[in-house]
Amino acid sequence: MKRILVTGGAGFLGSHLCDRLRAQGHEVVCVDNFHTGSKANIAHLLGDPAFEMIRHDVTEPLYLQVDQIFNLACPASPVYYQADPIHTMKTSVLGAINALGLSRRTGARNLLASTSEVYGDPLVHPQPESYWGNVNPHGLRSCYDEGKRSAESLYFDYRRRHQLPVKIVRIFNTYGPRMQPDDGRVVSNFILQALKEQPITIFGDGSQTRSFCYVDDLIDGFLRMMETPDDQIGPVNLGNPEEHTMVEIAELVRELTGSRSKLVFADLPADDPKRRKPDISLARKTLNWQPTVSLETGLGRTIAYFEWLLSHPDEPFAAPAVTLQERASEVRA
């Protein structure tokens, strides 16, 4: 049993990670400022004596005794990270410094959740970890893109200077239950518009592509990366290499929801990547990891979650969550 810190633990990915860690029997300390995270995501854990919630902004130092750190704190959707770009950059950079400082004091292993956005609008396809990227350093997305690039640099410098046991994963598009309804991401937008029988908005001509990984697969990649030997730092791409156009995703959502929504097209946002697909050769080799949940299955689970939210607008804290017993059974299986 380890004591594990999850920064951003009340967010979409962080809350699922907290669930998995508790199911494995670990003590979990969840830190979140609730800028984009939600208490509803962790409400089912609050009565658990091995789960601790601390309201805290990672731009300020945190003093704890822990064995491992999963540093997930940062707004991850354009709607959120562009709302306060200066704080987004501070969260990535100061958050990394403070998390690394905690590792120096405790010797805790420290995993940074970086992003595929470090590749920018890529000129190489699919994107391997060796690709340095094509990033606009002063565009609307740069607060997030360059913030994560800076965080990666800090993790490597702390490793070289202080021999810290650090890990870096680069997350590609991920979806699943507990996505925020208003986060502006493709999957949540399409599902909600389809369920409400509203026009499904596609930016650009719909030919741009993304690769979507279900949240359970991604969390499995986190856990495997954390347990690799100290000399395996990364970065390692985690994502689904199955590529789909925006039109294909919209059509599939419409089919799975039985919606009669029409597709409408709008201007493509500035610096929006035209193609995004991970090369996961390194994850397959070093982590024995690859996604296992099909897009149809994952979308079905996500649609069911949003259907529940729409039918229970006044009960966000009662949103269905996988119980620890069910999750533990999955882990044992």
- Point out the residues that are catalytic: 144
Neighbouring CB atoms inside 10 A of 313's CB total 7
- Could you tell me the CA-to-CA distances from 254 to 160, 192, 263 in Å, in that order? 50, 10, 10
Backbone φ, ψ for residue 255 (5° rounding): -70, -45
> Which residues, other chains included, contact 3 with Cβ-Cβ below 8 Å and sequence gap of 6+?
26, 27, 29, 65, 66, 67
| Distance separating alpha carbons of residues 325 and 333, to the nearest angstrom | 12
* Amino acid symbol at 42: I
Residue 333 CA to residue 312 CA, distance in Å, equals 32
- Six-digit token pair at 289? 């990891």
Rounded to an integer, what distance in angstroms lies between the CA atom of residue 214 and that of residue 293?
6
Per the CB < 8 A criterion, the answer to whether 17 and 6 are in contact is yes
* Per-residue buried b or exposed e for 57-92, using 16+ beta carbons within 10 Å of the residue's own CB: bbbeebebebebbbbbbbbbbbebbbeebebbbbbb
Burial 166-182, CB ≥16 within 10 A → b, else e: bbbbbbbbbbbbbbbee
Distance separating alpha carbons of residues 315 and 83, to the nearest angstrom: 27
